[in-house]
Homo-oligomer: A and B are copies of this chain.
Amino acid sequence: MALDLLPVVSATGGACCTPLTRDAITEQAAVGLSQVLKALADPARLRLLSLIASHDGAEACVCDLTEPVGLSQPTVSHHLKVLVDAGLVTRDKRGVWAYYALVPGALDAVTHQLGTHLTAGAAS
């Protein structure tokens, strides 16, 4: 096929398009980053993370968290599971109580990716 010899210019007329200066985020990276952001994008979960960070040693048990957020115990447990699945907190069951702690650096990784891909003129 000699079709590849044809100039497929499609003649847009030199219109609106501005030139690219670098590559955008990949589909795969966007999906992964959005999954962590989805875990963060809820008022209850933000409060839970903040409460955990505010406790001594950056860890807290469910009984510390249920009352301040004003939600039922199953709902709090559900939100904490979402945060664990997103890799933002860890769960450590000691006896009857479950202690949740921040994962060091997890949030930094998110903000770093945001800055890398979503800031004008950011190179690496």
* Chain A residues engaging chain B, CB cutoff 8 angstroms: 15-25, 27, 30-31, 33-34, 37-38, 40-44, 46-47, 49-51, 53-61, 63-64, 68, 97, 99, 102, 104, 107, 110-111, 114-115, 117-122
Contact = CB atoms under 8 A, between A and B. Distances in A.
Given A18-B57, A27-B43, 11 more contacts: A15-B63, A17-B60, A18-B56, A23-B54, A24-B53, A25-B46, A33-B43, A34-B43, A37-B37, A38-B41, A107-B118
A112 B89 CA distance: 20
Contacts of A64: 16-18
A115 B64 CA distance: 22
A117 B43 contact: no
Contacts of A59: 18
Given A111-B111, A115-B111, A30 B50 contact: yes
Contact of A122 (B53, B60, B61, B63): B53
A50 B63 contact: no
A57 to B, nearest CB: 6
